[in-house]
Structure 1
Amino acid sequence: MVFISVVDIIGTIAFAMSGALRAIEKEMDYYGIAVFGITTAVAGGTIRDILINKELPVSLANPIYLIISIFSAFLVIVFYKKIIRFNQILNIFDAVGLAAFTAIGSEVAVNNGYTQPFIIIVLAVMTGTGGGTLRDLFANEIPYVFHKEIYAVASVIGAVFFVITYQVFGTGAALYTAFVVTLLIRLFCMKKDIHLKKVSKAAKLKK
């Protein structure tokens, strides 16, 4: 499980940086940048823990995630001009974060006695995409996951593979399967620039 822990940290850093970058785009002050970084990195897991009635969300029980998020936001402030040149690398880190959080969300579900497929998938997707969704809402924008690229769908498919693998091989194999499947789908869609089809309002009105 050390591998998942490492990518969990990488994902936290990537998500926090993406939140901080969005805050800078919106010309927020240092506090706003820090809040956006924290929100993007830990909000998904926090909402998940509240939904399953955990006494204390992991983000509060283990302050390392908040510390990492704040430090990552600080790095974005200091090295902003250099960081934006490596946007593709940040996207790859973000994909790793999505995969890790999807796998971890699935694992948290079964570890807390929620083995129903629907609940596992919902908690996995919430963990993987909740922070970014809340970030975009704070920024007064349509959440990224609703209109750009294959993002939440990659998380859904990864969680489905977790459910299937868990029933046959148990939690350990399911954890890694969900991570790998989510990551590969996300990276493939990024490389091929694959998006879900949108409904054109103008086309609908012409009919």
Structure 2
Amino acid sequence: MFLIETFVYIGTMAFAISGSILAIRKNLDIFGVLLLGLTTSLAGGVIRDLMIGNIPPTNLIYPQYFLVSLLASLVTILFYEKIRQFKNSIAFFDAIGLGVFTAVGANAAISLDYSQPFLIVAMGLVTGIGGGVLRDVFVKEIPLVFRKEIYGIASIAGSLVLILTNDFLPLMISLYLCFIMTFAIRMLALKWKWNVPVVTKRTKIKNTIKS
């Protein structure tokens, strides 16, 4: 249980940092930076809990997740100039958060004795992308999961790994494999520019002859 809690804290900090970096780049005030960090790190878990009937949501019962997220955002504000020197810093921390919360979300469904693969994958996906979607919407950007980048697919792949390994491997090993798969696919997609085909609207122009 301690390792799972550690896993959650790592994901919370990673997502809070990614949200805070984006907020600073968008020139939000301090409250806006803190709020975007909190939204990115906590919203996915809240949405998941509401969907599976775990009410009130865990993130709203235990204040430590709020405090960890708040602390990560404050540290990001204080050391932003150093953090921004790392190329693709948002993408890196976002990939960590995506991997961790995909594993945590899928495991939350399994721990409640849900066995349907579709539901488990859905909970992993919602937990992994929920906060990031709201983060991007709040700053008027198209969410990553809706673009051509490999994002949601990485989360789905990670959840499938957890489902396939959960029955014959220790829980923590399955969670690590889920995280590694999700994180690796996301980072490799960024490095090698793997993209999902984009649907384009083709307009046919017809010449008409007026008589």
Q: TM-score, normalised by structure 1?
A: 0.88
| Count of equivalent residues | 205
What does residue 40 of structure 1 align with? 40
Runs of 4+ in 1 over 4 A off after TM superposition: 1-4, 167-173
* AA at the equivalent of 2:117: P
**Residue in structure 2 matching 1:205, options 200, 203, 207:** 203
Q: Is 1:73 aligned to residue 73 of structure 2? A: yes
Query: In 2, Cα distance between the equivalents of 1:190 and 1:8?
Result: 24
Distance 2:180 2:191 in 1: 16
Whole-Å separation in 1 of the counterparts to 2:155 and 2:70: 26
- Output one character per residue of 1:170-202: Cα deviation in whole Å (capped at 9) or x when no partner: 74553233222212212221221212121233x
How far apart, in 1, do the equivalents of 2:17 and 2:125 lie?
20
What is the aligned partner in structure 1 of residue 125 from structure 2? 125
Q: Residues 17 and 93 of structure 2 are in contact (CA less than 8 Å); yes or no, is this contact kept in structure 1?
A: no
Which amino acid in the other structure matches residue 146 of structure 1? F
Question: Which letter does structure 1 place at the counterpart of 2:70?
Answer: I
Shift of 1:97: 1.8
Instruction: Point out the more displaced range, 192-201 or 86-95.
Output: 86-95
Deviates more, 1:92-101 or 1:39-48: 92-101
Query: What is the RMSD computed on CA atoms of the aligned residues?
Result: 2.1
**Quick one: which amino acid aligns to residue 131 of structure 1?**
G
1:194 and 2:191 are equivalent in the alignment: no
Aligned to 2:208: none
C-alpha deviations, 1:51-79, integer Å up to 9, x for none? 11113212122212111111111122222
Tell me the distance in 1 between the aligned counterparts of 2:183 and 2:4. 13
Q: Quick one: distance in 2 between partners of 1:169 and 1:21?
A: 37
Quick one: which amino acid aligns to residue 205 of structure 1? T
| Identical amino acids, percent of aligned pairs | 40
Highest CA radius of gyration, 1 or 2?
2
Gaps (5+ residues) in structure 1?
Answer: none
Distance 1:138-1:92 versus aligned 2 partners, 3 A rule: closer
Give the 3 Å change call, closer, same or farther, for CA 170–9 of structure 1 in structure 2: closer
* 1:27 Cα offset (Å): 2.1
